[in-house]
Amino acid sequence: MSLTTRFAPSPTGELHLGHAFSALFAAERARRAQGRFLLRIEDIDATRSRPAFIAGIERDLAWLGLQWERPVRRQSEHLEDYAAALARLEAMGLIYPCFCSRGDIAREIARSGEAPQGPDGPRYPGSCRALSAAEANERKAAGAAFALRLDMAKATAVAGPLVWTDEAAGTIRAEPELFGDVVLARKDAPSSYHLAVSVDDALQGVGLVTRGIDLFAATHVHRLLQALLDLPVPHWHHHRLLTSPSGRRLAKRDKATSLGALRAAGLTAADVRSMVGL
Ligand code: GLU
């Protein structure tokens, strides 16, 4: 079976050298296996995504000499796929509406005097988990905005122990409980990153998920969602992150390493490849 890899940027800024490394890494793994390389636009967050950045991503990748299969999947065009996954988890009794604001959560954490940290910050203290269906429905009917959270204790009990394979790090025991009750649909976005990425990698037949090591912990949650939703389980390769000469992680706001700026300065795709070591 041929290997499918993907590069899945969020169109919230210009691509920089770190993205070039990530995209070239994924494309190279597909090329070596005579497989498929996909581009996926992760634009589920309508408040931060911009069409101009999508055009910029395609221009930059083409400049790097990459080719990808079309049509390009844009998450904002497939909301029904995420809704179907949420409906399935709901039917399993694993998700609940959460009406908390950031302020409510911070106050609850301060009140309880304990704030276990998860990979994404303090874990949600569970305030809305105990709401009765009647109470939740009443608040929904009154127009209150809500997110949908996974009941992590129930979900891990249903899934049982899980492992996943990272090409670089080996066999990893999944520890999604580190995240607590993760958000699967946000108040302002119909799906969270965790849900959309898990659904899409499965739908697109991605067999090797390559991405930066900053997303290593997120894979615990993705592995759990795959188990709950009966999705195929890929392998992962979390790669190193490029840093600036001062050792700082590259970020979208660093204009100097944006691919557009490097192109304007007269660099070629071959220069970029050698700069990122690929
Ligand atoms: N869209 C994510 C980002 O831009 C990457 C998701 C992934 O590769 O799993 O950071």
- 165-219 tens-digit pLDDT: 999 999 999 999 999 999 999 999 999 999 999 999 999 999 999 999 999 999 9
SS percent in the chain: helix, strand, coil, step 5: 45, 20, 40
Specify the pLDDT at position 4: 98
Specify the pLDDT at position 243: 85
On whether the CB atoms of residues 174 and 224 are closer than 8 A, the answer is yes
Q: Would you place residue 245 in the very low, low, confident or very high pLDDT band (cuts 50, 70, 90)?
A: confident
The average confidence (pLDDT) of the chain is 95
Tell me: pLDDT of 160 over 80: yes
More confident residue, 64 or 249: 64
Tell me: pLDDT of 25 over 80: yes
Specify the pLDDT at position 257: 85
Closest ligand 1 atom to 6 CA: 8
Tell me: pLDDT of 227 over 70: yes
215 lines ligand 1 (CB under 6 A): yes
Specify the pLDDT at position 252: 72
Specify the pLDDT at position 1: 61
Dist. CA 15–CA 72, nearest whole Å = 17
On whether the CB atoms of residues 177 and 116 are closer than 8 A, the answer is no
Tell me: pLDDT of 251 over 80: no
- Rounded to the nearest angstrom, the distance between the alpha carbon of 113 and the centre of ligand 1 is 34
End-to-end CA distance of the chain: 25
Dist. CA 172–CA 174, nearest whole Å = 6
Specify the pLDDT at position 101: 96
Domain 1-77+242-278 has CATH 3.30.2270.10: no
Multiple choice CATH, 79-203+215-229, 3.20.20.70, 3.40.50.300, 3.40.50.620, 1.20.1300.10: 3.40.50.620
10 lines ligand 1 (CB under 6 A): yes
In the chain, ranges of CATH 3.40.50.620 domains: 1-77+242-278, 79-203+215-229
- Rounded to the nearest angstrom, the distance between the alpha carbon of 41 and the centre of ligand 1 is 9
3-state secondary structure at position 107: helix
Q: Would you place residue 244 in the very low, low, confident or very high pLDDT band (cuts 50, 70, 90)?
A: confident
Asked, as a colleague might, if the bond just before 71 is cis with ω within 30 of 0, I would say yes
Specify the pLDDT at position 180: 97
